[in-house]
Structure 1
Amino acid sequence: MLLEATEDTDLQPLADACGIVTTTEAATDISIADRLAATPKSVPVPVIVVLETATAESFRIALRVGADDVVTEPISETTEPGSDTDPLVERLLDAVEPRRIQFGSDDAEQLREVLLDSGSTLMSTRSDEVDTKICWTMENVGEHAELNRIVCYLREGETFDPAYVWCPERCDTESHSLDGFPDADRLSMFENVVRPSVPPELADHSVDESGASGEEESYPTATVHVPLVADWNLVGVLSFETDTWRAWTDEEVDLYRTFADLIAHTIARNDRRLELRRRTEQLEQFSAVVSHDLRNPLNVLSGYLDLVENEISLSTYEPMDRAVTRMEALIDNLLMLAKRGDTIGKTESTSVAGVVEEAWQAVRAPDATLTLTDEIGRVRADPTRLQQMLENLFRNSVEHASTGSRAKPGDAVDHAGPSVAIEIGPRTDGADGGGMYIADDGPGIPSDVRGSLFDSGFSTADSSGIGLAIVDRIVDAHGWEVDVHNDSGAVFEVSFEAETAVNPV
């Protein structure tokens, strides 16, 4: 730095600006002029000339040495070095910063177009194309932004692995912990970490003698580290790097954050897709076991049971027949839960009373009674699924009402005996779109389990706990709602959506 100064002069505030400061008196010295002329052209270092007096001769001297700017006012003795009012620092920053920024408005517009194409590409990618398309989009962004490297680190436990790398020239990347990134605490808070750069030969001036860096510390390599966030978790870090003398604009960093969000969303979506595929395959295997390995032996048992129907007593035959029937219903329910595709099929205007009758006949509870109190009307529904919903609600009443005091001694825990009564009718609370209720005279639903009643596998009567989960799934698929409360027994209320309800005809 060419500046007439004493040993006590603090040059650090000017060091961060990375320029040459001289005076008109010093610039007239031939040796000084030669040193200014010898400044490497590959490093754009501005020259600021301090004019002792604002005369025509002073300006001619400044032009002769190729000054980028001049300071015509003297530095006040009261001005603290490095303050915002320091004229030398202001002029140096004005001269330096535009040269360091290599990303203009045209570049931003081009990068937006690249990101738009990248978003369309990544959102339409198949699982087997994810790796290829992420690398391709990284290359496009890197070339348009004139970067040297882009590295996508993905988190694996406590380690961040370089899963995707764009680097035209050979470069070495390695796994490291979160602490291996600059300002790891900020990354963990989902903040961007931006580091500008200075030329290598000037980088030493960015650190003071104590080794402590300033607020705008610079490095030989300019980097932007952007967190990859999915479901409010830090799943990786996207690193943008350049070895050139460069500062980053806010607009540029915002575009890099958009690109990181695209990659994070693509990876998270593909992970969910692969997990769904894995679970689907498991359900398909489960369905095959249920439909073949369980149903076939049951069919054999049912066939032999029919053969001995007239050879054994009714009291012996009926419990076995009920057990076979229950196993068949359980298999149908399991297959329904494992079924791929839509939960309901084509909907049509359906008579609720007609479906109620068919559902009751399928339940096989000859000692129970069902009363239809009034006409419910018609509703737009999948008749098959509506019948399955009602069958499960009826079976739930038969199974759980048996735990009440009205069950006869010796009754099985999953059968109600002759005293259970079920009632079904239209809702009378004026709910929009209508609905129906299914009530029984059993012991009701314990208040402490009401919130878990529709969870798959939950039961209070040693049953499978699948029936009410299926009810909830069918109701939800139709766009209805189901609720349960106690009123001298359990009462299930199904609210039909206003758009799907049909007036009785």
Structure 2
Amino acid sequence: VLRDVSDQKAYEQGIEAQNERLTEFAGIVSHDLRNPLGVVEARLELAQQECETEHLDEASDALDRSQALIDDLLTLAQEGERVAELEPVALSDVIEQCWDGVETDHATLEVEEMPVINADRSRLRQLFENLYRNAVEHSGSNVTVRAGAMDNGFYVADTGPGIPESERAAVFEAGYSHKKEGTGFGLRIVEQVADAHDWDVAVTESAQEGARFEITGVKTVN
């Protein structure tokens, strides 16, 4: 029995060390990639001031996607990390703050009365921001997004086309996307944040036949 416990401890320490190396590597790669991309962005802005062509617009879109990929890959490097410290977080505040921080065009946000929960505020922001981006990217700029409370958690639903039942299990896989401009990592990050809190996340159909993401196993603050 002692040997089994020792082997398990060694295995856990090995996984922890591996995760630390992966996070460090992702940080270095992210830093080294951002520098040349920053130069490209500055030069591209100067070129756009001197001439107008759709080729420069397409280059700018590709640059934006590259930067989004770096952000998502750096976030995914945290996979497997449990949240270190939890604090009381007012869900309604985080929901609205995240909405203001995401490009939502003409989309509308509706928020029900929400509880205070125990969570890592920074990681929770990642969850909501990626759910919002997913709704706007796949449902259009006029989509309505609704956030509400459940008995043991909360949900985020939209009025978009929804996700076919046959594809719902695959949406949380890294690289899954129907949009060429999408990175395919957004919903994987959502699942990762939920896992880090020991929550569960599932996708179903909203009342308006759009997508509804339900996060359960959430502990509220009395």
The interval holding the TM-score normalised by the smaller chain is 0.7 to 0.9
1:10-409 equivalent positions in 2, closer than 5 A? 119=2, 124=6, 266=7, 281=21, 284-289=24-29, 291-304=30-43, 324-339=63-78, 342-372=81-111, 374-401=112-139
Q: CA deviation at 1:367?
A: 2.8
Indicate the residue corresponding to 2:167 in structure 1: 449
Unaligned runs of 5+ in 1: 1-115, 125-265, 402-415
Q: CA deviation at 1:322?
A: 6.3
Tell me the TM-score normalized by structure 2. 0.78
1:338-382 deviation digits (Å, cap 9, x = unpaired)? 13883434221111121112211221122322222x221321111
Query: Matched residues in 2 for 1:358 and 1:378: separation?
Result: 15
Q: Is the 8 A contact 1:343 1:473 kept in 2?
A: no
Query: Matched residues in 2 for 1:317 and 1:422: separation?
Result: 33
Among 173, 189, 195, the residue aligned to 1:476 = 195
Q: Is the 8 A contact 2:143 2:160 kept in 1?
A: yes
Letter in 1 for 2:93: G
- Identity among equivalent positions (%) equals 37
The 1:396/1:305 distance shift into structure 2, 3 A limit, reads: same
The 1:340/1:397 distance shift into structure 2, 3 A limit, reads: closer
1:55-113 deviation digits (Å, cap 9, x = unpaired)? xxxxxxxxxxxxxxxxxxxxxxxxxxxxxxxxxxxxxxxxxxxxxxxxxxxxxxxxxxx
The 1:380/1:320 distance shift into structure 2, 3 A limit, reads: farther
1:135-171 deviation digits (Å, cap 9, x = unpaired)? xxxxxxxxxxxxxxxxxxxxxxxxxxxxxxxxxxxxx
Q: Is the 8 A contact 2:172 2:187 kept in 1?
A: yes
Q: CA deviation at 1:472?
A: 0.9
Q: Which structure is higher in RCO with an 8 Å CA cutoff and minimum separation 6? A: 2
Letter in 2 for 1:492: F
Query: Matched residues in 2 for 1:393 and 1:449: separation?
Result: 17
The 1:478/1:340 distance shift into structure 2, 3 A limit, reads: closer
Q: Is the 8 A contact 2:22 2:77 kept in 1?
A: no
Unaligned runs of 5+ in 2: none
Helix, strand or coil at the partner of 2:177: coil
The 1:318/1:359 distance shift into structure 2, 3 A limit, reads: farther
Letter in 2 for 1:459: S
Query: Matched residues in 2 for 1:340 and 1:322: separation?
Result: 28
The 1:465/1:436 distance shift into structure 2, 3 A limit, reads: same
Q: CA deviation at 1:277?
A: 5.1
Query: Matched residues in 2 for 1:370 and 1:320: separation?
Result: 31
1:207-236 deviation digits (Å, cap 9, x = unpaired)? xxxxxxxxxxxxxxxxxxxxxxxxxxxxxx
Helix, strand or coil at the partner of 2:178: coil
Indicate the residue corresponding to 2:220 in structure 1: 501
Q: Does 1:491 align with 2:212?
A: yes
Query: Matched residues in 2 for 1:319 and 1:368: separation?
Result: 24
1:407-486 equivalent positions in 2, closer than 5 A? 416-417=140-141, 419-427=142-150, 431=151, 433=152, 435-462=153-180, 463-486=182-205
Helix, strand or coil at the partner of 1:501: coil
Query: Matched residues in 2 for 1:317 and 1:361: separation?
Result: 28
Query: Matched residues in 2 for 1:317 and 1:375: separation?
Result: 45
Q: Which moved more, 1:300-309 or 1:462-471?
A: 300-309
Q: CA deviation at 1:392?
A: 0.5
Query: Matched residues in 1 for 2:136 and 2:87: separation?
Result: 29
Query: Matched residues in 1 for 2:106 and 2:62: separation?
Result: 16
Q: CA deviation at 1:305?
A: 5.6
The 1:275/1:359 distance shift into structure 2, 3 A limit, reads: closer
Greater share of helix residues, 1 or 2? Answer: 2
Q: Greater CA radius of gyration, 1 or 2?
A: 1
Helix, strand or coil at the partner of 2:214: strand
Q: CA RMSD in A?
A: 3.5
Letter in 2 for 1:298: L
Query: Matched residues in 2 for 1:316 and 1:362: separation?
Result: 28
Q: CA deviation at 1:324?
A: 5.0
Query: Matched residues in 2 for 1:343 and 1:310: separation?
Result: 46
Letter in 2 for 1:454: F
Letter in 1 for 2:174: S
Q: Is the 8 A contact 2:204 2:212 kept in 1?
A: yes
